[in-house]
Amino acid sequence: MKILTESQRKRYSRQILSPSIGEEGQEKLSKIRVLQIGAGGLGSPFALYLVAAGIKELTILDNDTLSLSNLQRQILYKESQIGIEKVLAAKESLATLNSEVEINTYNEYVDENSVVKYIENKDFIVDCSDNFKTKFLVNEVAVNYGIKAVIAGIKDFFGQIITIDPKKTACYECVFNKPGSLNSSEGPLPVIGVTPGILGTLEALEVIKTTLNLPNLENKLLVVNLLNLSFDTIDLVRSEKCFCSK
Ligand SMILES: [Zn+2]
């Protein structure tokens, strides 16, 4: 039975041509639901590429308002949207890009209570936040609810990214020590806009490749250095001492 419509076949024709995707792969993509935490520098390219690629549903959580200093890296937004809620601005941009994808957005502070409200029926939870507290939270929710996750972090010209299949592969906490105090604010970090552009794009790529059972970053940490243009993968092993092994 053919699931794709004629218009979908046309829209996604170039990726359907890929031997790694095909119509079967496109059908798989058209069924996935993703929960995105954060709609900033990482979240902009992440949402744009996933919605363009034709997933079923994208739900975005963020509680920020768009400001002038965001535009240097948050490519989802325009000057005319300064002062409005990022989730509203994001919904506007994404809906006009691909009206076939269901976009749900919530202007809510990201904490355990808000994240778990939207976790039901999701195939992925993806961290596009700018702080460690949220990355550890996304990891915990992913492990506790058995949902695949992608977590990336950036600073200046540098980034890291990992994909997690809970209870099967190394989680974020297997790799990074949870700091004692996660509440201390570091203040604004230096960022060149291209860095979240690349890492957020890689997060979208990981969701797509994981859905299609293509090689991904499970049990691997990709460390990106955009100053010397090195992309190094470090092999990971799930820690028996970590909460994800219990
Ligand atoms: Zn772990």
Residue 167, phi-psi category: left (phi > 0), alpha (psi -120 to 50), beta (remainder): left
Q: Are 141 and 115 in contact (CB under 8 A)?
A: yes
- Give the pLDDT score at 188: 87
Say how many Å lie between the CA of residue 174 and the centre of ligand 1: 4
Say how many Å lie between the CA of residue 206 and the centre of ligand 1: 19
Angle between helix 43-53 and 194-211 (nearest 10)? 40
Say how many Å lie between the CA of residue 147 and the centre of ligand 1: 14
Specify the higher pLDDT residue, 113 or 180. Answer: 113
Q: What is the mean pLDDT of residues 199-215?
A: 98
CA max distance for the chain? 54
Look up residue 188 and give its DSSP letter. Answer: P
In this structure, the number of other CB atoms found within 10 A of the CB of residue 132 comes to: 16
Give 7's pLDDT tier (boundaries 50, 70, 90): very high
- Give the pLDDT score at 179: 78
* Nearest-angstrom CA–CA distance, 133 and 183: 7
Say how many Å lie between the CA of residue 119 and the centre of ligand 1: 20
- For all residues of the chain together, what is the average pLDDT? 96
Domain 31-245 has CATH 3.20.20.70: no
Say how many Å lie between the CA of residue 136 and the centre of ligand 1: 10
Q: Which three-class secondary structure state does DSSP give residue 106?
A: strand
Question: What are the residues whose beta carbons fall under 8 Å from the beta carbon of 94, sequence distance 6 or more?
Answer: 47, 48, 51, 58, 76, 101, 103
The string of pLDDT tens digits covering residues 143-153 is 999 999 999 99
Give 28's pLDDT tier (boundaries 50, 70, 90): very high
The string of pLDDT tens digits covering residues 152-167 is 999 999 999 999 999 9
Q: Are 92 and 48 in contact (CB under 8 A)?
A: no
- Give the pLDDT score at 135: 97
Provide the token pair at 12: 């996604």
The fraction of the chain above a pLDDT of 90, given in percent, is: 94
Q: Which amino acid is at 137?
A: L
Domain boundaries, the chain: 31-245
Say how many Å lie between the CA of residue 197 and the centre of ligand 1: 27
Q: Are 139 and 164 in contact (CB under 8 A)?
A: yes
Say how many Å lie between the CA of residue 137 and the centre of ligand 1: 12
The pTM of this model reads 0.97
- Give the pLDDT score at 17: 98
Look up residue 218 and give its DSSP letter. Answer: B
